[in-house]
Amino acid sequence: MPESDCLFCKIRDGLIPAKVVYQDEDCLAFEDINPQAPTHVLFIPRRHIPTVNDLTAEDREVVGSLYIGAAKLARERGFADTGYRVVMNTQRDAGQTVFHIHLHLLAGRPLHWPPG
């Protein structure tokens, strides 16, 4: 999918509204429109990367910023001690529906294993 058709790129560019809750130079985070937990936030890199399979060694810092942002928001919202889940789905069979990598932060209820 070209970047011009990417839902998350359009959110990043302000073409589609979203409730942005965190941002830094490498990433943007916003509330999921179909939350699976009381807190369900998506962290995306500002640069379009379709799937985890497309990552290269040069993307280490960008991917790290997604996790650092998620941990910071979890602390701010009071979930660092009680627990939260971060997950990144890759390809359709794993549940990826938007092909721009994104890290899900889920918290605010007991999260059982295995999921679904």
CA 63, 65, 68, 70: dihedral to nearest 10 degrees? -80
For tokens 């939260």, what's the residue?
A: 84
Residue among 40, 102, 104, 112 flagged as catalytic: 102
- Around Cβ 87, how many Cβ atoms within 10 Å? 13
Q: Is 48 a catalytic residue?
A: no
- Around Cβ 30, how many Cβ atoms within 10 Å? 20
Q: Which residues are catalytic, by number?
A: 102
